[in-house]
Amino acid sequence: KIIYTLCRSVVTITAIDNGSMEKLASIEQDAERYVEDIYVQDDKLVLFGTLGRQVGNSEDSEAYDGYYENNTYVQVYDISDPSNPKEIGNMEQSGGYNTSRIVDGYVYVLSQFHPFHLRKVILGGNNRLRHNCNNNHNNGAIKTDDHTV
């Protein structure tokens, strides 16, 4: 038997046999990625998470012009050999990860998009802060038995 565990964006693959456990492999993400869900179906492991990054920087030390962007990402691994998982596909869509489902071999992904743009504008010696916010929702679907996502 194989157990797949998720802890702090690290997926660990562990074999259990006659009461003993053996770590077979682990999949770690970089600091910008946060794994929030995993699914195992047949010989596929699907990871869902949020990828966060700061976008836009001003060269002017007096002003800030930028925002923090969240994208949902999906990674699909071939786990036919659990000791050697291989990434076989991935995708990104705008917005932070919300939820997902697998129905009839398709993965449905729902993300929430809340853009936050913050700009410091210098006018006549006064600092003014402008906040723009927009709401949008995005969905995506991929087929789990395909090698491309």
Dihedral of CA atoms 7, 34, 39, 43 in degrees, nearest 10, equals -90
Task: Please tell me which residue, 133 or 75, carries the higher pLDDT value.
Answer: 75
Interval 90-128: pLDDT, tens? 999 988 899 999 888 888 999 987 665 554 444 444 444
Residue environment code for 109-121, b if the CB has 16+ CB neighbours within 10 A, otherwise e:
bbbbbeeebebee
The string of pLDDT tens digits covering residues 26-63 is 999 988 899 999 999 999 999 999 998 777 665 655 55
3 state SS of 127: strand
Distance, in Å, from the CA atom of 145 to the CA atom of 143, rounded to the nearest integer, reads 6
For 36-105, give the DSSP string: EEEEEETTEEEEEEEEEEEE---S-TT--EEEEEEEEEEEEEE-SSTTS-EEEEEEEEESEEEEEEEETT
